[in-house]
Amino acid sequence: MASATPQLIIPALRVVKPGWAHHRLGRRPGSRRYNRSVFSRVLIANRGEIACRVIRGCREMGCETVAVYSDPDAEAMHVRLADMARHIGAAAPAESYLRQDKLLAVARETACEAVHPGYGFLAENAGFAEAVVQAGLAWIGPPAAAIRAMGLKIEARETARQAGAPVIPGYEAQDDSDEAFLAAAADMGYPVLVKASAGGGGKGMRIVEAPEKLPSALAASRREAGGAFGDAKVYLEKLIDRPRHIEIQVLLDKHGHAVHLGERECSIQRRHQKVIEETPSTVVSAELRARMGETAVAIARRVGYENAGTVEFILAPDGSFYFLEMNTRLQVEHPVTELVYGVDLVHWQLRIADCERLTLRQEAVIPRGHAIEARICAEDPEAGFLPQTGKVLALSVPAGPGVRLDSMLYPGWEVSADYDPLLGKLVAWGEDRLAAIARMAQALTELRVLGVTTNLAFLQNLVTHPAFAEGATDTGFIPRHFPHWATPPAPIPAQLAAVLALALARPTRSAAQQDGSVATPTPWQALGAWSNT
């Protein structure tokens, strides 16, 4: 263990480095101090369920939190949870959550010591990471250079290749004429995938089955990528048949220590949007996990990565895996890893940003049981999953052992069309996969949202489908098993409930007509109370 000694010296030097560290020079790096704050105050540069998640993590670590909000978010859950909140502009992200100047001004005015970007918005914006550090604040995320290196997918593939990771055959040349793409696609064989170089979240992505469809797919992808990321560059990738998306969670501190926290499988997707995520994967053995984990850590090290990150791989049916991309942020689906590995990733993000040493050892990182996450979205599965808006009129939340709800919902919250339809995540842990599925099904029954159409009923059908229990989950699962999903006809008891609810609402109908909703009637009413019409 003599080789470990020199590493102990480096952190001590690093602590002195940036301006934000001066206030805490007296602290011993690496010491655990849950009863003392890592940072006195943290700016949460995000909204929605992830802002709520991060605020909770900060407060548990003794950090005060400052929320920011746009016009429609003045009453949002994250604003209600934070210690203080500042208005930063209009609904459009470009006028609020993407306004770096306003975010930094709020951080300055409220004397924050660090900034947590959540996911989305500015989480993977290297320029913002740099601006935060230049403003003398700690950035709770990877260094700007690492974000940059992984941000452009073409360069990221090259980095992965250099780190010894296999990559999917693709076309990423300088000649971006349609002819060049057509020739490359013919070489690798259809179907191919058109992807945005600066992309993420499925934006700008198109599957192309035949050459005649390629030019229009290229045009659409460039337009969508240009609009979403300001970079219209696209590349081509061979589409792997029945692929499984396996991603590896990594944690790296500022002292050269790194661990991987196993895989997450995100194979139930709908048009490249993740729907169900779980860990461990049914197809990843301990040996494969170790190999993929080591590859992920090698890729992260190659770009000088620090903090929490995720390396995504495509796993082919024959067991070969290919580097897909690295997400230089906390992932939406991080809770399943937290439940199975017994770690709090947000706590570790704060501690690593605060120069603490990673005390997790790889050999002690062992999965325990199984966790599943379902994404709850304001979308109508009966109408092609179109995003929905509306006010939450009734809400009932699940409880019990092994159930976790990360959500931004509360009764009265108005879901607007301004942001992503993700409302929250329901996570279930069980001793094994079937136990986790049963718990998820039960929790989904208990979780009820009325007033805005959600995918809850669809999720219920998904997790209780026999093919899901068998673990036959690849990215074609939804189109194969649910080509035409529809609500079953209402049985008589549901009809009776509707008539009773209508009778109850009747006396307040005139008031209700003004905003389209009805005030939720308070405590239980006897039938006689609403008998007169």
Partner 1 sequence: MRELLQINGEAVEASVLPGQEGAALVRLSAEEHALSAVRCGAGEVEFDWQGRRYRFHAVATRDTVLVTDGQSYWRFARVEEGAAESGGEEAGTLTSQMPGTVLSLLVAPGAAVTKGTPLLILEAMKMEHEVCAPAEGRVEGFPKQPGERVMPGDLLVEFTRAE
**Residues classed as catalytic:** 329
Q: Which is nearer to partner 1, 14 or 481 (CB)?
A: 481
Binding partner 1 by CB under 8 A: which of 19, 134, 445, 469? 445
Choices 59-67, 96-104, 159-167, 224-232 (CB under 8 A): range interacting with partner 1? 224-232
Which H or E run includes 503? helix 492-505
Q: Which stretch binds partner 1 (CB under 8 A): 148-156, 165-173, 334-342, 416-424?
A: 416-424
Given candidates 10, 111, 366, 490, which one binds partner 1 under the rule CB under 8 A? 490
Instruction: Identify the helix (H) or strand (E) that includes residue 499.
Output: helix 492-505
Element housing 266 (H / E): strand 258-270
Count of residues for the chain? Answer: 533
Min dist. Cβ of residue 444 to partner 1 (A): 7
3-state secondary structure of 117: coil
362: number of Cβ within 10 Å: 15
In whole angstroms, the minimum distance from the beta carbon of 529 to partner 1 comes to: 9
Determine the Cα–Cα distance for residues 280 and 246; give it in Å rounded to an integer. Answer: 10
Of these, 298, 460, 471, 474, which contacts partner 1 (CB under 8 A)? 460
The owner of tokens 């209780």 is: 464
Nearer to partner 1, 320 or 445 (CB): 445
Among 9, 394, 399, 469, binds partner 1 (CB under 8 A): 394
| 3-state per-residue secondary structure call for 286-345 | HHHHHHHHHHHHHHHHHCCCCEEEEEEEEECCCCCEEEEEEECCCCCCHHHHHHHHCCCH
Among the candidate windows 164-172, 302-310, 325-333, 482-490, which touches partner 1 by CB under 8 A? 482-490
Residue 180 CB, nearest approach to partner 1 (Å)? 24
Structure tokens at 348: 């570790």
How far is residue 418 from each of residues 72, 73, 453, measured CA to CA in Å?
A: 8, 10, 16
Give the side-chain half-sphere CA count within 13 A for 459: 32
227 binds partner 1 (CB under 8 A): yes
The pair phi, psi for residue 303, each rounded to 5°, is: -105, 15
**Shortest Å, Cβ 497 to partner 1:** 4
- The correct pick among 188, 290, 393, 435 for binding partner 1 (CB under 8 A) is 393
Is 228 a residue that touches partner 1 (CB under 8 A)?
yes
- If binding is defined by CB under 8 A, does position 522 make contact with partner 1? yes
From CA 253, how far away is CA 435, in angstroms rounded?
34
CB of 261 to partner 1, least distance (A): 30
The yes or no reply on residue 224 touching partner 1 (CB under 8 A) is yes
> Is residue 488 a contact residue for partner 1 (CB under 8 A)?
yes
Interface of this chain with partner 1, residues 362 to 381, rule: CB under 8 A? 380
CB of 331 closer than 8 Å to CB of 346:
no
Which positions lie near partner 1, rule CB under 8 A?
203, 220, 223-224, 227-228, 380, 383, 386-389, 393-396, 411, 417, 419-421, 444-448, 450-451, 453-454, 456-457, 460, 487-490, 492-506, 509, 512-513, 516-518, 520-528, 530-531, 533
